[in-house]
Amino acid sequence: MHGSLFENSTEAMNRAPAVQPAINAAQQFVVVRAPIARVYEQWARIEDLPRFITSLRQVRRIDDTHFSCVWHPNGEDKQGIFHIVLQIPGRRIAWRTISNDFMSGVVSFEPCSEQETEVTLKVRSIFDPPNLSRRLEEYLGNFKRLVERAEGRE
């Protein structure tokens, strides 16, 4: 009896584990020439994220904290749902996907002065391992241009 139990335990330990996709993490920041309230308000318009996050094709509100989205990671369209898990007005927004594909992130806003805001974006994702940091930098650059252009018109 002990032999078979030991053999089964050994077999279980020697089985190859299921291959899990690697989780990549990246962080970037940008200083936007606009007051923190304006900068936060623009990011908090979740349906407008595709205006600066180029991999997002469409975002639609389901309720106050859930959004359906279509995005284009690694060259193919995917659909999913993400959940806003934390929202501190004027300071921070955090989210995670609740579909099979994994991504989570947080964007935070810190005033540098009355007319400048530092925006920090942190993302954990199974998508685009070698380019995640570069993509965050691109998205933040797009966001900065969007906010500063709008700020100049007001």
Residue 127: inside a domain: yes
pLDDT the model gives residue 5:
43
Average pLDDT over residues 13-35: 76
Residue 48 in any domain: the answer is: yes
How much is the pLDDT for 32?
Answer: 98
In a domain, 115, yes or no: yes
13 lies in some domain = no
Q: Is residue 18 within 8 Å of 128, Cβ to Cβ? A: no
Total domains in the chain come to 1
Q: Of residues 28 and 78, which shows the higher confidence score?
A: 28
Whether 9 is in a domain gets the answer no
The two structure tokens encoding residue 23: 């989780």
Is the pLDDT at 98 greater than 80? The verdict is yes
Q: Decide: 54 and 71 in contact? Cβ < 8 Å.
A: no
Q: Pairing state of beta strands 56-61 and 66-71? A: antiparallel
CATH number of the structural domain spanning residue 26: 3.30.530.20
Residue 112 lies inside a defined structural domain of this protein: yes
The answer to the question of residue 3 being in a domain is no
Please determine, for residue 77, whether its predicted confidence score (pLDDT) is greater than 90: no
Q: Which residues, in sequence order, are bridge partners of residue 141?
A: none
Say if 55 falls within a structural domain.
yes
The domain in which residue 119 lies consists of 20-153
pLDDT digits (tens, 9 = 90+) for 33-47: 999 999 999 999 999
**CA separation for the pair 68, 71 (Å, rounded):** 10
Calculate mean pLDDT across residues 85-94: 97
pLDDT at 1 over 50: no
Percent residues over pLDDT 90 in the chain: 58
